[in-house]
Chains A and B, each alone.
Chain A
Amino acid sequence: MHGTDSDGIITTGTTTVGLVGADGVVLAADSRASLGGRFVTNRTARKVVPVDDRTALTFAGSVGDAQSFVRRLRAELALYDMDHEPGASVDTAATVAADLIRRDGTPQLELVLGGVAPESTVYQIDPAGGVMDAPIAASGSGMQLAYGYLEDAYDPEQSVAELRAVAAMAVRNATERDTASGDGMTVATITADELEREQYDGIERAVSAATSQPTDSEVAR
């Protein structure tokens, strides 16, 4: 989401994506924070954040709304995990997130929430608390550009190792034309075994790191 020009709220202009793969979920986002997409206020913002053991989200919109929201979501999920065995599923996390958003009265937030708990799942959550699951999701001012790439490049049979490259390319392509997105990238890979997050200083650095990582087939060899 993009801030209105007059409100002076720092927003994350932003392109974020979430992809469901054969063995997990990949979330990625650029790292630019800006005033209405016209002045870059921060170039190393991390917009992909873990909220539970195997669940993370990306946010686009007001930085203040996002930070406050993430703190509260983490607290709610920690309390849930305390007396539920196993802990919160991605489905539950999405429901709690949407409920927090509704109780807040439409904050400026577009979320992509994904994880492997227990199934690989990605949800798109809108500022009115709407929750929709989808194999691919994108949010932020660059989302049309990201979707354009994903519609062509995404294959649900791919492994997370391969999808990291797809996610990085989707964000890269959006930063080429969306002035509110750019600078660097955060890529999170979630499998049943781990939640791993990498931060890159430059867009191209992220793309080359993501594309050079070995795919499953290479590992098998």
Chain B
Amino acid sequence: MNLQVELLEENSVQRFKIVGEIDAFTAPKLKEKLAAVEKVVGMQAEVDLSEVGYMDSTGLGVFVGFYKAVKANEGHVKIIGVNKRLKRLFEITGLEQVMDIVMEESRDADATV
């Protein structure tokens, strides 16, 4: 199973673009990438999940850990590009209430830009 993480810095926002499936096999790689920056004080992180086809609870654990670490360093985590299935996962777990989560933009909205 493949997973790619790209890190882009845009106007002091750390933007992570994740492509692939996040499960028990790929999660350690993701965790390592995120852990490299999570101690930065006051970091504004944006995690783009629009190219993530599947994520299980191990993946969710990685984001919970990242969220806690960034929050402890007075930073902010925003998760974008969340599809319907992932949205349900964030809803059920109650994480939607504490994390900044943005649904995937619909194709129509893209077209008008």
Bind each other: no
